[in-house]
Amino acid sequence: MSVTVTPLRPLVGAEISGVDLRNELSPEDAATIVKTWLDRGVILLRGQNIDEHQQVRFSRLFGELIERPRPKEFRKEKDDAYNGYTMLVSNIRDEKGEPIGSLPDGEMHFHSDMSYIPTPSRATILYSIEVPKEGGDTVIASTTAAYDALDEDTKKLLAGRNALQGFMHGTTLREKNSLDKSASHPAVRVIPETGRKSLFISHLMTFAIEGLPKEQSDALLERLFRHMERPEFVYAHKWRPGDVLIWDNRSTIHARTDFSRSERRLLRRFATQGEAPVAA
């Protein structure tokens, strides 16, 4: 069976079909998948039935696994084979009423995974096991397409500037108070493999454009958030059990829509090691 690539949206995303991830991929199929991921920012494979080991094998196409920077007291996963690397995204509770995974409930603002550490994640690989009937969609926006569509004055204003990235563990919506972790990265970065420029900014995790007065920085960020989340840059994924979604944290941002707490949601996530962002 040959690999087929179908665009999901004009500017972002592609579906890969003709692949069974329980089996080893040929070098040719693996190369097609990685190239499509680099070109389109996010790829989707439906109808998969994989265990943790098979997901790890596939994840390593996109780099070495990265251990989660979340403190151990915030980690819920106890029995995974890849301790410290596996993340369950789930609202399922144990007999004590505690979530078995992380980020259990509700909406989540747009962000790029681990943008608040010195070497943010390259790829995120998310596999769906149980999904709600409605809501809990993953919404992905192309930050390369968003940069390309900026006016020249804004591009000049951002050139050479860094953005403060931060996160409060356990939060899914933007907070204005103190951050658990933070890092300063170029507001516009270059994707090494493609040479494209990307806005490295997100609603949840970017708190300032450095070198600008606070009022100007806040106003610019709010304008950029609205711009990046415009419909033409976005793919909204409605989950089915057995979906595998892989996005490039350097060229996309992602969010989650709200869903009922009465509906079970269970997804398994791995992420891969990135590089220190290079300024455009």
Q: Say whether pLDDT at 82 is over 80.
A: no
Q: Report the alpha-carbon distance of residue 3 to residue 20 in Å, rounded.
A: 10
What is the pLDDT averaged over residues 80-108? 87
What kind and span of H or E run contains 225?
helix 214-228
Q: Report the alpha-carbon distance of residue 40 to residue 127 in Å, rounded.
A: 19
pLDDT-based confidence at residue 83 (cuts at 50, 70, 90): confident
Instruction: Work out the percent of the chain whose per-residue pLDDT is above 90.
Output: 83
Q: Report the alpha-carbon distance of residue 214 to residue 70 in Å, rounded.
A: 29
Decide: 205 and 193 in contact? Cβ < 8 Å. no
pLDDT-based confidence at residue 179 (cuts at 50, 70, 90): confident
Q: Say whether pLDDT at 96 is over 60.
A: yes
**How much is the pTM?**
0.93
The DSSP letter of residue 60 is: G
* Residue extents of the structural domains in the chain: 4-273
Q: Say whether pLDDT at 40 is over 70.
A: yes
pLDDT-based confidence at residue 70 (cuts at 50, 70, 90): low
- The chain-wide mean pLDDT, for the chain, equals 93
Q: Report the alpha-carbon distance of residue 254 to residue 201 in Å, rounded.
A: 11
Decide: 105 and 261 in contact? Cβ < 8 Å. yes
Looking at residue 178, what is its pLDDT?
A: 63
**Comparing 20-34, 52-66, 81-95, 127-141, which segment has the lowest mean pLDDT?**
81-95
The DSSP letter of residue 278 is: P
Q: What is the pLDDT of residues 104-151, one digit of tens each?
A: 899 999 999 999 999 999 999 999 999 999 999 999 999 999 999 999
Decide: 240 and 46 in contact? Cβ < 8 Å. yes
| CATH classification number, 4-273, choose in 3.40.980.10, 3.60.120.10, 3.90.650.10, 3.60.130.10 | 3.60.130.10
